Amino acid sequence: MELSNRIKKVKPSATLVITAKANELRKKGVDVIGFGAGEPDFDTPDYVKEGAIRALKEGKTKYTPSAGIPELREGVAKKLKERNNIEYSPSEVVITPGAKMGLYEIFAILLNPGDEVIVPAPYWVSYTEQIKLCDGEYQTPMLSEENGFVLTADLLKESITDKTKAVVINSPSNPTGAVIPKSELEKIAQVCLEKGVMIISDECYEEFAYDEPHVSIASLDKDVRDITFTVGAFSKSYSMTGWRLGWVAAPEKYTKAIATMQGQTVSNPTSFAQYGALEALKDGGKFPKMMREEFKKRRDYIVEELNSIEGIKCNKPQGAFYVFPNISSYIKGDIKNDVDFASYLLEEAKVAVVPGSAFGAEGFIRMSYATSMDNIKEGLRRIKEALAKLR
Ligand SMILES: Cc1ncc(COP(=O)(O)O)c(C=O)c1O
C-alpha cells in the first residue's frame, strides 16, 4: 500500500542521521569524535532519578490526566512566574512528551491547510517538517550572518503575508546559538500585535544564555503574553532528553485544545517521569547553572580555535551549545557543498558535524560543544590537520 502524501513529504531528522552514522563507525571500532549531539553530556541529576524511582515504587504507574499531573502544571506555572516573569495559571500550562511534541501540537491546533508560519533560517530541523505534517506552509527568510543570525522586526515585517498565522522564534537558537536582545523582542512583539500574528516561542535553551539573562517574549506585557505560546522543556535544562518532558504555556483556549489532542494520541506524558521532573523544579536552577558555567568555557575555547583556522569564520554565539561556522571557502573541487564538507571531516578526520543545509543554510556546519573539553581539543586538532590537506 502507498504511504500517505503527508509522510512522503517529510525528511528524516538530519541530526539524528549524523549521530547514527557516527555510532555505526564507532561500533566498527573507529574512534569518532562527535560534534553532532543535541543533548548535554551530563547525567540527569540523582535527585530527579530518585523522584521517578520513588513514584515507581509507590505505584504511580497509571494514566495521568492528559495535560499532565496537576502538581507539575502548578510547578511549571510557578517557575514561569518566578524565573521568567510571566503570569500563567496552572490551567494555562500543558505538560507534553518533550518540547518537540508540544511544538507539533501547536501547529496541529493552529493551522488549516494553506496557513503559513514564518520560520527564520537557519532553523531547527523539525519546525518545517512538523508544519508539513499539519498541512501548513512555511516561509524561511534568511537571517543575516553579519547580524549574528539574530531575527529583526524588520525582516519579520517584510516576510508577513495575508496567509501568515504565526512566527517561530527560537532564542537561544539551535543551530546558531543566537540570542535575540530584549530591545528587538519588543519590536518583534509589536509587529506581531499589529499584524495579528501568533508567536511560537521555543525556549528550550533558556538556561544557556551566557552574556545576558534570558528574556521570554511573553514577559513583555499581557497583550504579548496573550498571543504567545511559550514552549520549554526539562530535556536540555536538566539533561533529561530521554525522559520526554516539556511544556506549552498559553491562554487556556490553546492548552485545552492541546490536552484534547494528547487525550486522543499519547493519552498523557509518562507518569513516573513527571514525578522526577517535579524534583528538577525544586532545585531552583542550580543544576542548569553548573552546566551553563561549563558550556561557557567550552564556547569561548571553540570559537577562538575555529577562528584561528584559515578560511573558517565563526560568530561568537550568546547561547545554546552550538557554534555555526561559515566554511564556504572550502567549497571547491571535490567538495561541492557543506554535505561533502561534513563527509570529508567524518572520513578524513573521524569527526562528526552536521551540514548547515540541514538547517536551511548552505555553506555552514553546526558543531555542538556538549562534549568534553578533551574531545573538543582533540576534535579541533583533527579538523585543523584535515583542512590543512585541502589547502
Ligand atoms: C530548538 C529545539 N526545540 C525543541 C527541541 C526538542 O526538545 P525535546 O527533547 O524536549 O523534545 C530541540 C531538541 O533538540 C531543539 O533543539
CA of 241 to the centre of ligand 1 (A): 9
Question: Which residues are CB-contacts of 89 (< 8 A; sequence separation ≥ 6)?
Answer: 77, 252
Residue 54 belongs to some domain of the structure: no
Cα 118 to ligand 1 centre (Å): 18
* Residue 166 forms part of a structural domain: yes
Q: Residue 166 forms beta bridges with which residues?
A: 117, 198
Q: Atom of ligand 1 at shortest distance to CA of 245? A: 10
What CATH number is given to the structural domain containing 102? 3.40.640.10
Separation of CA 309 and ligand 1 centre (Å): 30
If you measure from the C-alpha of residue 384 to the centroid of ligand 1, how many angstroms do you get, rounded to a whole number? 30
User: Are residues 131 and 9 part of one domain?
Assistant: no
DSSP 362: T
Nearest 5°: CA angle at 105, between 103 and 111?
100
Asked if residue 155 and residue 26 are part of one domain, the reply reads no
- Could you tell me the CATH number of the domain that includes residue 327? 3.90.1150.10
Name the residue with the closest Cα to ligand 1, atom 16: 174
Half-sphere exposure of 28 (CA within 13 A, CB side): 8
CB 143 within 8 A of CB 155: yes
pLDDT of residue 14: 66
**Residue 246 and residue 233 share a domain:** yes
* Enclosing domain of residue 308: 5-43+287-390
Domain count of the fold of the chain: 2
Do 196 and 211 lie in one domain? The reply is: yes
Q: Do the domain assignments include residue 53?
A: no
Cα 370 to ligand 1 centre (Å): 14
Is 147 within the bounds of a domain? yes
Residues 222 and 357 in one domain: no
Whether residue 49 is contained in a domain is answered as: no
Domain boundary among 283, 305, 327: 283
Residue 220 included in any domain: yes
CA of 171 to the centre of ligand 1 (A): 12
Clarify whether residues 244 and 173 are in a common domain: yes
Contacts of 85 (CB under 8 A, 6+ apart): 216, 219
322 shares its domain with 346: yes
The set of cell numbers assigned to 20 is 547514527
Report the residue among 18, 100, 180 best suited for mutation to probe ligand 1: largest number of ligand atoms under 8 A from its CB: 100
Burial class, 231, CB count within 10 angstroms (exposed 0-12 / middle 13-18 / buried 19+): buried
Angle (CA) 313-170-46 rounded to 5° is 100
Q: Which atom of ligand 1 is nearest to the CA of 241?
A: 9
How many A from CA of 244 to the centre of ligand 1? 10
Pocket lined around ligand 1, Cβ cut-off 6 Å: 38, 98-100, 124, 170, 174, 202, 204, 233, 235, 241, 246
Note whether 272 and 291 are same-domain residues: no
- Decide if 55 is inside a domain: no
* Closest ligand 1 atom, residue 101 Cα: 11
Please report, in tens digits, the pLDDT of each residue of the chain (391 residues total). Answer: 999 988 998 887 766 667 777 888 889 999 999 998 889 999 999 999 999 999 999 999 999 999 999 999 999 999 999 999 999 999 999 999 999 999 999 999 999 999 999 999 999 999 999 999 999 999 999 999 999 999 999 999 999 999 999 999 999 999 999 999 999 999 999 999 999 999 999 999 999 999 999 999 999 999 999 999 999 999 999 999 999 999 999 999 999 999 999 999 999 999 999 999 999 999 989 999 999 999 999 999 999 999 999 999 999 999 999 999 999 999 999 999 998 999 899 989 999 999 999 999 999 999 999 999 999 999 999 999 999 998 8
Q: Which of 252, 283, 314 is the last residue of a domain?
A: 283
Does residue 242 fall inside a structural domain? Answer: yes
